[in-house]
Amino acid sequence: MRRWFILATGLTAQATTSSFLYGLPFLIPALLAEHGLSLTSASLLISAPLLGMLLALIAWGAAADRFGERIVMTTGLTLTGALILASLALPGFVLFGLGLLLAGACAASVNAASGRVVLGWFSARERGLAMGIRQTSQPVGVGIAAVSLPPLADHFGFATAVALPAVLCLASALLVWFVVVDPPRPPRTVAAAASPYTGSTAVTLIRLHTASALLVMPQFMSATFAVTYLVSARDWSPVVAGQLVAAVQLAGAAGRILAGVWSDRAGSRMRPMRLIAVFALSTMVLWAVGDLLDSWLAVAALVAALIVTVTDNGLGFTATAEMAGPFWAGRALGVQNTGQNMAAMAAAPLFSMLITAFSYPVALVAAALFPAAGAVLTPVAGESAARVDAVEVEVRP
């Protein structure tokens, strides 16, 4: 029973940091209206936390491998909340962006450690389900941001909206400290403690990291510009657009759980991941077609994209930890998350420039190329040989 409480706490911690890391795009309309920033400038500003996360993920993963998940998550959440609040007191958007970057670096602790603690408490037959549940934290966090940040910005201003994720992070730090227990680890052996980035496993892991990063691009294209698209291209109000995106996050969360269960029953993480990549490609193309035709299909495809493009994330995380083993899981998850956040950081400015220079359909067709490449690179054939599921290295609750 303990492991389910730990799972719930890990989910909560990740959701609170996600409301900050991935929720700031919902404040782009406020930045444009309240502060007069251009779309590209606003996109760069809201990408600052992702850059901070990118720079710190592997280091936090190594810290989790060495010191344990509880202390890493508590420290990271506390620093994240404090730095967000401190950044609001800094003059000018350059210093504000620097504060957001440092807060994002501290939030990286939760990305590595919360996944590691969940995987450590669940056996292979339940990991897909457990990580599917844990991975709902991102759509849950995005949903919280979508439903709360636009109204807060509309009624109380941009700064008040940004302060909400800070308060949530500080509250989550207390919850982690009192609930989380580090999982037991098997005895360290030379084989179990060896780096997975040597030998035949390295090629499979690198392909997995690359495919996962490519699949992030349509996810962040749809998440970053959903509200902006509905407001500017479909004449929706920011609040109503945010409410739609928040409601869709529930379906996205359910999709992650179903994908995890699917992978448990299929005995494979990679086969479902490849099919999801094909579905993601389809949603981008349909959204582009719907926009060209000025049709309801555009909104329907946008909704489908918000759901489909998030469902593969838990599969990549689970497979990474299984291949890396218990003594390298934190660092391997850090590498996995680094690649994904490199893509996420690039997505907002890249697609904003394409939208500004050409149009939404061109940007959407470009976004469809990434899951097409991801489907090809997903290492279905190499998965079985690389997975570290043997009894001698598996952590059982």
Structural domains of the chain sorted by starting position, each given as residue range(s) with its CATH number in brackets: 2-393 (1.20.1250.20)
CA dihedral 316, 317, 319, 321 (to 10 degrees): 160
Radius of gyration of the chain (CA): 20
Average of per-residue pLDDT values in the chain: 83
Digit-coded pLDDT (tens) for 297-336: 999 999 999 999 988 888 888 888 888 877 777 788 888 8
CA distance 149 to 30: 10
Task: Grade residue 389 by pLDDT with cuts at 50, 70 and 90.
Answer: very low
CA distance 213 to 234: 30
Q: What confidence score (pLDDT) does residue 351 get?
A: 86
CA distance 356 to 142: 25
Among 115, 367, 335, residue whose Cα is nearest residue 212: 335
Query: Which residue do the tokens 């907002």 mark?
Result: 348
| HEC letters along the chain | CHHHHHHHHHHHHHHHHHHHHCCHHHHHHHHHHHHCCCHHHHHHHHCHHHHHHHHHHHHHHHHHHHHCHHHHHHHHHHHHHHHHHHHHCCCHHHHHHHHHHHHHHHHHHHHHHHHHHHHHHCCHHHHHHHHHHHCCHHHHHHHHHHHHHHHHHHHHCHHHHHHHHHHHHHHHHHHHHHHCCCCCCCCCCHHHHCCCCCCHHHHHHHHHHHHHHHHHHHHHHHHHHHHHHHHHCCCCCHHHHHHHHHHHHHHHHHHHHHHHHHHHHHCCCHHHHHHHHHHHHHHHHHHHHHHHCCCCHHHHHHHHHHHHCCCCHHHHHHHHHHHHCCCCHHHHHHHHHHHHHHHHHHHHHHHHHHHHHCCHHHHHHHHHHHHHHHHHHCCCCCHHHHCCCCHHHCCCC
Digit-coded pLDDT (tens) for 240-262: 887 888 788 788 878 888 988 88
Q: Report the half-sphere exposure of 336 (CA within 13 A, side-chain side).
A: 31
Query: Which residue do the tokens 């730090």 mark?
Result: 173
Task: Grade residue 185 by pLDDT with cuts at 50, 70 and 90.
Answer: low
Residue 236 φ then ψ, to 5°: -85, 160
Q: What confidence score (pLDDT) does residue 316 get?
A: 87
Query: Which range among 176-185, 218-227, 384-393 shows the weakest confidence by mean pLDDT?
Result: 384-393
Cβ-contact 133, 7 below 8 angstroms = yes
CB atoms near residue 35 (< 10 Å): 12
For range 201-224, the mean pLDDT:
89
For range 156-177, the mean pLDDT:
90
